[in-house]
A = this chain, B = another copy of it.
Amino acid sequence: MKVSIIAVGTELLFGQTVNTNATYLSENLNHMGFDVMYHFVVGDNPQRLKEKLADAFSDTDIVLLTGGLGPTQDDLTKEMVAEYMGVEMYLDQRVVDDLRDFFRKRGGNMAENNFKQAYLPVGCTPLYNASGTAPGFALSRNGKTAICFPGPPRELKWLWEHGARQYLEQLTDKKMYYRIIRTIGIGESDLEMLLMPLIDGQSDPTIATYAKEGECTLRVASQRKDSDDARKACDEMMARIMELAGKYIYSTDDEDLNEVVVRMLKDKGVLISSAESCTGGGFASSITDIAGASSVLHSSYVTYSIDAKVKLGVPEDIISEYGVVSRETAVSMAEALKNVSGADLCISITGYAGPEADPGHDAGEAFIGYVYKNHKAAVRVLTNRNDRRWNRNYFILRMMRAVYMLLSDRADEIE
């Protein structure tokens, strides 16, 4: 079944608020097997809302609306939906009681305009809101269904879990199952070429590729009458994808690479430490983004200057002979780090994030060094970009990838 989402709120059109509600609803609707066809955003303007409501219903039978249910004059979503559906409004006594209760508990007087929130369209299924003051509702009439949610994401999520999802479940008979596969080390076009035998002539399951920063994501999705069938079809397709592109896949469950790496470090009981120059602490920060990182990272070093590298234990000779951005310095940083930190897996980076680089070098050049078990080496990374932020993020991803390969006993594939 096809669904549109209309978000109502001038703050979205001003760029003050990101439309995360549409993302949340879309993800959940897709899980349930609904096809989300459109998102719309309109301001707090009754005429334009009315037009977009008609547009949305012309293509889809179900429209979810967010925002514009509050007590102020420009909150008009409910009224427009009732008008479109051709029903009157009624005063819902339970909402009145809930509102009185809410304000009494807070010890405040209820402003008169709050009663506006207690009016609902005749014939609707109210979605009483225990996480805020504005109720939502679901209303089906003549084969069309509208579900209205308040704008604050926390309240919207509460109403989704407490009534809206259940209301929608009654409306559908198809079940969707999908998996998100994360890859590294291959571009979108190459991945698509590699999987062409599977993508070509696809109907169900479908395979789609998405480029993300420095990596590529695959979605495998199946929609069947039976959820076990959908799952089975996806699993079979996943097995064929693994055969063709397995070496590039690091997660079949939409995990970020740092999540996967921290889990592997924990599982293997490996302690990690980093000595970072051009990434300036970004690698350690990415590891410690993950809850529970304290069991795998005890300390880390930002050795930004030559002096800091020497203090860590890199011989001055190495730096003067090979240069501060060199394979030899990177390896030596990892070795020195091993002595200082005592960690099992030591990783280092020295390079030029940009815009500046020393003579004979380009911004975007870096060496990643590592010491782990019997592996001790460094690899050169060259981005050919002079974009400091991009380079730093990409260097961190490449460090993470090197750690992933070391932990997977695939050191020979580090690049």
Contact = CB atoms under 8 A, between A and B. Distances in A.
Contacts of A57: none
Interface in A321-379: 354-356
A17 interface: yes
A229 interface: no
Interface string A266-309: 00000000001011111111011101111001111111110110
A344 to B, nearest CB: 14
Contacts of A38: 13, 40-42, 48, 52
A291 B353 CA distance: 9
A379 to B, nearest CB: 14
Given A18-B23, A210-B11, A190 B287 contact: no
Contacts of A292: 356
Contacts of A211: 16, 70, 152
A291 B26 CA distance: 34
A179 interface: no
A280 B284 contact: yes
A294 B324 CA distance: 13
Contact of A72 (B28, B43, B188): B188
Contacts of A42: 37-38
A320 interface: no
Contacts of A392: 288-289
Interface stretch (A80-88, A164-172, A383-391): A383-391
A173 interface: no
Interface stretch (A105-113, A119-127, A403-411): A105-113
Given A111-B193, A304-B297, A15 B26 contact: yes
Contacts of A355: 291
Contacts of A36: 13-15
A354 B291 contact: yes
Contacts of A282: 281, 285, 288
> So how many copies of this chain end up in the complex?
2
Contacts of A193: 111, 113
A38 B47 CA distance: 13
Contact of A213 (B152, B219, B311): B152
A99 to B, nearest CB: 11
A305 B299 contact: yes
A227 interface: no
Contacts of A14: 26-27, 30, 36, 210, 219
Contacts of A244: none
A113 B13 CA distance: 36
Interface of A: 7, 10-20, 22-30, 36-43, 48, 52, 55, 59, 70-74, 102, 105-106, 111, 113-114, 131, 152, 154, 180, 187-190, 192-193, 208-211, 213, 217, 219, 276, 278-285, 287-289, 291-294, 297-305, 307-308, 311, 354-356, 382, 384-385, 387-390, 392
What 10 A-B pairs come out closest when comparing CB atoms? A280-B288, A15-B27, A281-B281, A15-B26, A299-B308, A281-B284, A300-B302, A39-B41, A298-B305, A111-B189
